[in-house]
Amino acid sequence: MKIAFVGKGGSGKTTLSSLFIRHLAAAGAPVVAIDADINQHLGAALGLDEAEAAGLPAMGEHLPLIKDHLRGTNPRIASAATMIKTTPPGGGSRLLRVREDNPVYDACARSVELDAGTVRLMVTGPFTEADLGVACYHSKTGAVELCLNHLVDGRDEYVVVDMTAGSDSFASGMFTRFDITFLVAEPTRKGVSVYRQYKEYARDFGINLKVVGNKVQGPDDLDFLREQVGDDLLTTVGHSDWVRAMEKGRPPRFELLEDANRRALHRLGTAADATYDSRDWDRYTRQMVHFHLKNARSWGNERTGADLAAQVDPGFVLGEAAVAPA
Ligand SMILES: Nc1ncnc2c1ncn2[C@@H]1O[C@H](COP(=O)(O)OP(=O)(O)O)[C@@H](O)[C@H]1O
Ligand SMILES: [Mg+2]
């Protein structure tokens, strides 16, 4: 399952992503964790110290390697230079699996040991002005989008992306790349307004959007969220002393997380798992083509001097069947 955490800055995206990642790892599930948030804090939230976090390789600095690996021998993609963030896979492309070693993970992922399991962590690297534009040929989230579009994840395998709900992800199609999107909202007008905006973008794309209330303190907070987001409210998380202790650099063992918050994480897991059987790889592929053509027209063709529509392999559908036998 591909899972995104989005929301307003400070709402708790990184905190809840990291708790959910710990929850999955504790259950023994394979996890690829990706930090695509403007403020790169997922490593720290997973317990890395400053030096370790600063030493993580940045996906944004390995775009040529990522592109060259993924295009493989696809004859429709002549070079890494004509591959943009939305270029879809086709015959000859290399696909990624959650549980494997490959040159992309070698270059961009590091293992992070948690109490109860090890996860792979990849980070986009710090953002600059240029990364926040719409076109951004060198876009760092583009590295993530390329990986998601070339990734075939199976049941009980998880990719968790800590992500900014910004214009970049809407222009590129990044926001449509997930089986479920958890929108983290505090019980405030601002928190809820980000939800409304996201819902509006998501409407035409069949996005499975669920709200996770965070820092919810009592019945009044809960009533507010219920009233504002209705059935989209999946669960809520309260203030966590466990999180506070972790922020002080003294993380307790994960099994000591408060019961109510543990139950909330369990609900997230159940909701994510429930998406697997209704997964629609045809639609997933169609949407990546849709956004590729849109990006090709609006900036990609001009930028690369090529007709990027020709990169689309009309017979290709991402999914288990597309994974070439080893
Ligand atoms: N449920 C919680 N309990 C205690 N502290 C929290 C909780 N959720 C978030 N925080 C704190 O709020 C701050 C912002 O959270 P963070 O996850 O970094 O937000 P975002 O990634 O959305 O910008 C952090 O200091 C974090 O530790
Ligand atoms: Mg964050």
74 lines ligand 1 (CB under 6 A): no
Q: Percent of the chain, pLDDT > 70? A: 94
**Helix 63-71 vs helix 140-149: crossing angle, to nearest 10:** 20
Q: Residue 166 C-alpha to ligand 1 middle, in angstroms? A: 19
Which residue is closest in CA terms to ligand 1's atom 15? 12
CA 116 to centroid of chain Cα atoms: 22
What's the pLDDT score for residue 47? 93
12 lines ligand 1 (CB under 6 A): yes
- Closest atom of ligand 1 relative to the 9 alpha carbon: 23
Domains of the chain, each with CATH number or no CATH: 2-323 (3.40.50.300)
249 lines ligand 1 (CB under 6 A): no
- Stretch 2-22: mean pLDDT, rounded? 96
Q: What is the Cα–Cα distance from 139 to 164, expressed in whole angstroms?
A: 14
Banded model confidence at residue 170, pLDDT cuts 50, 70, 90: confident
| pLDDT tens digit sequence for 271-320 | 999 999 999 999 999 999 999 999 999 999 999 999 999 999 999 999 99
| pLDDT tens digit sequence for 204-220 | 999 999 999 999 999 99
Banded model confidence at residue 251, pLDDT cuts 50, 70, 90: confident
Q: Is 0.85 surpassed by the pTM of this model? A: yes
Q: Residue 161 C-alpha to ligand 2 middle, in angstroms? A: 11
- Provide the 10 A C-beta neighbour count for residue 192: 21
240 lines ligand 1 (CB under 6 A): yes
What's the pLDDT score for residue 107? 98
Banded model confidence at residue 326, pLDDT cuts 50, 70, 90: very low
Q: Percent of the chain, pLDDT > 90? A: 83
10 lines ligand 1 (CB under 6 A): yes
Burial class (CB in 10 A: 0-12, 13-18, 19+), 16: buried
Q: Which of 2-16, 103-117, 122-136, 189-203 has the lowest mean pLDDT?
A: 122-136
Angle at 288 between CA 21 and CA 13, to 5 degrees: 25
Residue 57 in contact with residue 34, Cβ under 8 Å?
no
Q: Residue 19 C-alpha to ligand 2 middle, in angstroms? A: 13
Q: Residue 9 C-alpha to ligand 1 middle, in angstroms? A: 9
Q: What is the Cα–Cα distance from 19 to 246, expressed in whole angstroms?
A: 11
What's the pLDDT score for residue 139? 74
Angle at 108 between CA 174 and CA 7, to 5 degrees: 35
